[in-house]
A = this chain, B = another copy of it.
Amino acid sequence: MRHVLILNSDKQEPLSVLQQFPDLRHTVMTSEALRSFYPEGSVVGVSDLGDVGAVLARASEVVGPGGVTDVVAMTERAVPTAAFLRSYFGLPGMKYDQALIFSNKVAMKRALAPHVPVMAFEPAASLDDLPARGEHLGWPVIVKPAFGAGSEDTIAIHSPSHAQVLDRAGVFDGLRGRRLPLIVERFADVIDEFHCDGVVRGGRVLFASASRYFAPPLTVVGDFHGSVHLSPDDPTAQALVDLHARVVAALGLDDGVTHLEVLHTAEGFVVGEVACRPGGGGITTSLRHMYGVDLWREHVAAALRLPPEVDGARPRHPGKVYGLCGLPAKGGTITRLSSADALTRLDGVYAVSMRYKPGDRLSARRSSVFFTGEVFFRLDHADDLRAFLRRLRDTYVCETDASVQAQGAGTC
């Protein structure tokens, strides 16, 4: 019987799909803080799923007779770590250097640049190198950690003096403290931003769905944020699906689920980043409703080299406009928060997923994925989006009080 080591946060969705695969047993490895989400005996804790040393030490302890036969990462942070374990233990599936192409943005851009448009970029060992990199690339630039999901510690810098101002204001403190290698990129004047979510098996794209973000993520931190899935017949969608196929070929991906970010600039489409795992923030749930395709199921199937279910899905309700919207969270203890029931009553909403409830305490984070939950909607026309979002903003309530002691356990 195969023994699958699952590297996961507290996400329940990807774990539930494991039941679809018979003849597997699994052990979850998660961060110590999240151990309590799992039944005792099925979980091992580790200080940090991104720490290869810690994860390797823990994995070496838990292997029993027969050992671990497969390692699956359910969270971005664990993608390179899981691949490291596969490489180290000689297990089948994506190896470390391949996974780095999806998780180290320098390796990623180097692999992409010869094949698809990317913003000019340079690696930087530390912030000390920022002035030279900016000079060489031309200001303004974006600096961010070479590793990391979301837009955490992603900082736009307009000039050397702007960098000094930001530094004095402590904006670089997080980046400096994390001691990660950095990537500096020419700042893109973004007109529109898209994501494309795909399933690749044997190097062939079996499914790809293009979506348009409401607005580029970097401009909407702390606000409503989401995307609308484009019809497969939309010419923009077709161009994005084509670009996705070129990205898959450029990176040499054989088997996996992809989440590609594409910027639309004055110069045309530019590839932002591409991850080798289902998109977060409700995208997977939304696409399951629209297409009947379960990207978590496909992710696990690809990692375990089991047959895919999808091959060229079409929307279940052609003509309808599907999308999702994250509900902005605030730091502090939640005093008032819209219920799923209240939001479901909104015209166009067909499902709501709330992660928190009044009494939960949230830490303030600067990230594009800090939501209390997601609203899934289905509209008759793309033009209805603006009015729908206005209704949602008018209805949604999230109030927090930083001085109130937490009454429940909240994680984010």
By a beta-carbon cutoff of 8 Å, the part of chain A in contact with chain B is 51-54, 56-57, 60-61, 63-68, 84, 87-90, 95-98, 100, 104, 106-107, 110, 123-126, 128-129, 146, 179-181
Determine how close the nearest CB of chain B comes to the CB of A77; give it in whole angstroms: 14
Residues of B contacting A68 with CB < 8 Å? 125
Would you list 8 pairs from A and B whose C-beta atoms are within 8 A, ordered by A residue? A53-B54, A53-B57, A60-B179, A66-B125, A67-B126, A87-B96, A87-B100, A88-B104
The smallest C-beta distance from A257 to any residue of chain B, in angstroms, reads 22
* Residues of the B chain whose Cβ atoms lie less than 8 Å from the Cβ of A64: 125-126, 128
Is B65 a contact partner of A129 (Cβ separation < 8 A)?
yes
Complex contacts, A96 vs chain B, CB 8 Å: 84, 87, 96-97
**Given known A-B contacts A95-B97, A96-B97, A179-B61, A90 and B67 have beta carbons under 8 A apart:** no
A128 and B124 CA atoms in complex are apart in Å by 46
The number of times this chain is found in the oligomer is 2
The residue from B67, B104, B146 contacting A129, defined by CB atoms under 8 A apart: B67
Q: A97, B87: Cβ atoms under 8 Å? A: yes
- Could you list 13 further interchain pairs (A-B, Cβ under 8 angstroms) beyond the known A64-B128, A65-B128, A89-B123? A52-B53, A60-B180, A63-B126, A66-B125, A67-B124, A87-B97, A88-B100, A89-B181, A90-B100, A90-B106, A90-B110, A90-B146, A96-B96
Supposing A53-B53, A96-B97 touch, asked if A129 and B87 sit within 8 A by C-beta, the answer is: no
User: CB distance B179 to A65 under 8 Å?
Assistant: no
| Chain B CB within 10 Å, residue with most, of A65, A100, A146 | A65
- For the complex of A and B, list the 9 residue pairs with the smallest distance between their C-beta atoms, beginning with the closest: A53-B53, A67-B125, A65-B128, A60-B179, A90-B106, A97-B97, A63-B125, A95-B97, A96-B96
Q: Taking the nearest CB of chain B, how far is it from the CB of A306, in angstroms?
A: 22
A125 to chain B: which residues have CB within 8 Å? 63-68, 89
Q: A86 CB to closest chain B CB, in angstroms?
A: 10
Contacts of A181 in B (CB 8 A): 67, 88-90
* Complex Cα gap A51–B57 (Å): 9
Task: Enumerate chain B residues within 8 angstroms of A52, measured Cβ to Cβ.
Answer: 52-53, 56, 84
Residues in B neighbouring A129, C-beta threshold 8 A: 65-67
Point out the residue from B56, B65, B89, B107 that lies within 8 Å of A53, measured CB to CB: B56
> Once the chains are docked, how many angstroms separate the CA of A126 from the CA of B64?
7
Which of B65, B90, B98, B123 interacts with A90 by CB under 8 Å? B123
Contact check, A90 vs B107: say whether CB atoms are below 8 A apart.
yes
Question: Please, which residue of chain B has its CB at the minimum distance from the CB of A104?
Answer: B90
Give the most central of A89, A110, A124, A129: most B CB within 10 Å. Answer: A89
Complex CA distance for A409 and B253, rounded to whole angstroms: 53
Could you tell me the distance between the alpha carbons of A97 and B64 in the complex, rounded to whole angstroms? Answer: 25
Give min CB distance, A31 to chain B, whole Å.
Answer: 15
What's the minimum C-beta distance from A352 to chain B, rounded to whole angstroms?
Answer: 40
Inside 8 A of A67's CB, which chain B residues have their CB?
124-126, 129, 181
**Residues of chain B contacted by A110 (CB below 8 angstroms):** 90
- Which residues from B are CB-within-8-Å of A53? 51-54, 56-57
Q: Which residues of B contact A51 (CB under 8 A)?
A: 53
With A and B bound together, what is the CA distance between A57 and B47 in angstroms? Answer: 14
In angstroms, Cα B88 to Cα A100, docked, is 7
Cα–Cα, bound, A101→B103 (Å): 22
Q: Which of A61, A95, A125, A129 has the most CB of B within 10 A?
A: A125
Minimum distance in angstroms from A195 CB to a CB of chain B: 25
Q: How far is the CB of A63 from chain B (nearest CB, A)?
A: 5
Chain B residues closer than 8 Å to A104, beta-carbon distance = 88, 90
